[in-house]
Amino acid sequence: MTEFLTRHRQSRGLLAFALGTLLTVAACGVLVSHSRLFSQKRDTAVMIGTTLPELKSSVALLAANVEAEQLFTENALRSREELADAYVLPASSPGPRLADTASDIARALTDHAKSRVSVTRLTFDAAVDKSGVKATPAHLTLTGNFQAVSRFLGILGFSGDMMVKDVIPPDVQADVLARVERVSPASLKAAEDFLYLDLLSYAAEPDARESRFFKDMPADAIGDIHATMLASGLADVRTAFEYAAASMKDAKAWPMPLTRIDGFRRDGDVWTIDLTVFGR
Amino acid sequence: MQPKTASEYAGASVDPVLVPALSRLGPPVLIFGAVFLALSFGLTMLVSPDRFPVRVGDRVVRLSDLEAEEKALKVQQADLLKTRENLKTEEKAPILHQVSVLAAGVVPVGRTLLLVDRVRASFKNASTDPISLPRVELTSDGTLVLGGEVRDLGGRSVQLLSSFIDGLRGVPTVSSVSEPEYLSVEQPDGSSVSPFTVTLTLSHD
């Protein structure tokens, strides 16, 4: 009996010892996992802290972009659509508008540039209908030297473009806006306004329009951004429209029908140009 | 009861010593283990990482604040992207959309001519305009053929021609420029003339 009781007491003691050991090991496990959690949370904090400024910048850019697009959609989109409907991709024949615009361009270049260019002849073939778009082949004959005709065709190359943002590739626009946000976030709205500016208005007074954009930016940041925008297409706008923009604006000669230059041939000062003019 | 012999003690090994010792240690070890585990849990609850700020860059912030800020920014970003998606003009301005589709992929002929003229004019000075381009043709496959001549009073027309070709290769809308034949025709007045024809392959917008 005594032996039984002794053995029973020893069994309970052993069980308590085993249980106590298990509980101690469990407690150690809890402490180790908690210290790992501390370390993980610290790493997470550092990671978030590092990526947060970039996320803030990206959200600020996106907000400015969306605000500008909302303003454009509310205020100007309808009028641009109407202009496109009437002049750029008209339902009626684009011939008369192209003839008027070509004459206005030639007159403006001749009056204000140092070399003459004139429209000698403009003829149209029958339109070809492709998936709801009418493509009308046209043949234009110009008289002028290389410089004058290159300006003329340079302006023709911008047919269909109505805003500054239509000239600058989307990736360059995004890069410029990102740089503006970095150096002068307060200038983001001015940057968006500049991109949505009417193209001929910009071409008529490019320096003044650019000054408004750069007004509040630090002087050392303007050079790079300006150079990027010029290289991406604005320099060509300035060159093409240099002598013609003001006259064309007065004559309401823009926008013009979307026109593609398919080919041309020069014979002395006579240029024969094959075009495709688009309509609906 | 007979006392055990030495061999009996040896055969029984450590059981008579270890087992009683462990069984006596049992309750204190159990109490220690229970208290240690309870304290561990208590410590994990009290000492939470979220309570302690961390230094990130030049500021000290709590992780919960950082996570909340990140979450708010991501929600704002998602809302803005959704708003922008709803502003897409295809439905609101179908004609403008059609114009942009048609205008994409157009070879920039007008722009190229302007840039070629800019390169040509860069060789002008007050008294001479050495490069003339009386033959210009844009073919149906989108290549621009320039035929002309370079005149130089000092007899360096070939060098001027090679500089002109280099300038054409720098035009961003031109993907390649053929190599012309470099000729030098001496004139009686000591000047030289280099007639040339080059073909420019235009890149698409």
The confidence score (pLDDT) of residue A25 equals 95
B125 backbone dihedrals φ, ψ, rounded to 5°: -135, -170
Residue B140: pLDDT above 50?
A: yes
Average pLDDT score, chain A: 89
Contact A62 B102 (CB under 8 A): no
- Between B5 and B27, residue with greater pLDDT: B27
The confidence score (pLDDT) of residue B142 equals 84
Contact A66 B83 (CB under 8 A): yes
Identify from A32, A188, A266 which residue to disrupt to test chain B contact, counting B C-beta atoms within 10 A and taking the largest count.
A266
* Chain B interface includes A45 (CB < 8 A): yes
* Chain A interface includes B7 (CB < 8 A): no
Read off the pLDDT band of B11 (50, 70, 90): very low
- Between A271 and B142, residue with greater pLDDT: A271
pLDDT tens string A149-177: 999 999 999 998 999 988 998 889 989 98
Residue A82: pLDDT above 70?
A: yes
A168 backbone dihedrals φ, ψ, rounded to 5°: -95, 130
pLDDT tens string B37-54: 999 999 888 887 776 677
Residues 73-102, chain B, touching A (beta carbon < 8 A): 73-74, 76-77, 80-81, 83-84, 87, 89, 92-93, 95-96, 98-100, 102
3 state SS for chain A: CHHHHHHHHHHHHHHHHHHHHHHHHHHHHHHHHHHHHHHHHHHHHHHHHHHHHHHHHHHHHHHHHHHHHHHHHHHCHHHHHHHHHHHHCCCCCCHHHHHHHHHHHHHHHHHHCCCCEEEEEEEECCCEEECCEEEEEEEEEEEECHHHHHHHHHHHCCCCCCEHHHCCCHHHHHHHHHHHHHHCHHHHHHHHHHHCCEHHHHHHCHHHHHHHHHCCCCHHHHHHHHHHHHHHHHHHHHHHHCCCHHHHHHCCCCCCCCEEEEEEEEECCEEEEEEEEEEC
Contact A266 B115 (CB under 8 A): no
pLDDT tens string A84-120: 999 999 998 888 999 999 999 999 888 877 778 999 9
Give pTM, 2 decimals.
0.71
